[in-house]
Amino acid sequence: MKLDLNSTVTLNNGIKMPLLGMGVWKSANKTASQSVRWALKHGYKLIDTAKQYGNERGVGEGLTKGLSENGLKREDIFLTTKIFNGDEGYESTLDAFDNQLKNLQTDYVDLLLIHWPVSGKYNETWKALEKIYNEGKAKAIGVSNFNVERLTDLLSEATITPAVNQMEFHPLEQETDIKNFCDQNDIQLEAWSPLGGGEVLNNPQITNLAEKYNKSTAQIILRWDMQRKIIAIPKSTHEKYIQQNTDIYDFELSNEDVQLINNLDLEKRSLWYGNFAWNGNPDGIKDTIDEWDD
């Protein structure tokens, strides 16, 4: 399978989305700005942020500077952001999104997601996303952290099928039921926390594969994502690792080794969120913005 940093998947509305990108969760504004500039320097085309991260302003600054520094145009980059939980609802979503665009220093995003399925509000919020999409302010719209029940409910009222569902996805949590549902409904799965933290990176079977292919465990996992056509957005604030995460195109996992990783699934989420039961503030999930630093 021939892949490179420009490899894309085609979403259900015909838009092409890069398979590999960079996330900025838990990055301060200054850090996010620098990380985005490094990402563009090393050839990334996909940048993922969210209002809840508190760093859209930093991402916007990094994007503006990074485009200039690397001779790129806005249309060369695929930018994703998300609707904040506290902004969900029809009018509130529309009002908040205009301000998000200002912070991101752009007049459109390539992908706009509902960050979490807030009970009693996500269908109303989706109608706002459909309006944003129809106005051209988002090239594609989708959801994040939606299980099969919530997706089914959304589809029963939606006039536009979500293009993407962004989920925690890594070798120990492969969201099989959700992925199957997304495949059946032409919804692209995207992985947040694709490296799954220390337990995944230190898994002995993945460590053995890293030795076999002379790669890091992170590179093995990201290559596995690519070969399964799962979009991955690893987060790093270090230029060295931002660059290393792209060094996954000079080798290919065998079918047997892809299956070996497939078999590691324990349905083990690193982040507990009440089995998707959203009632305003489930365990472990904030409904506040993480950071407002300068």
Instruction: Please state, in angstroms and rounded to a whole number, the distance separating the CA atoms of residues 90 and 93.
Output: 5
**Choice among 44, 53, 122, 213 that is catalytic:** 53
231-232, strands of its sheet edge to edge: 21-23, 46-48, 78-83, 111-114, 141-144, 164-168, 188-192, 231-232
Q: Is 241 a catalytic residue?
A: no
What is the C-alpha to C-alpha distance for residues 35 and 128, in angstroms, rounded to an integer?
31
In sequence order, the β-bridge partners of residue 287 are none
- Report, in angstroms and rounded to the nearest whole number, the Rg of the chain calculated over CA atoms: 18
The residue length of the chain stands at 294
Distance CA 170, CA 232 (A): 9
Torsion of CA 56, 108, 79, 124, to 10 degrees: 80
Active site residues per annotation: 53
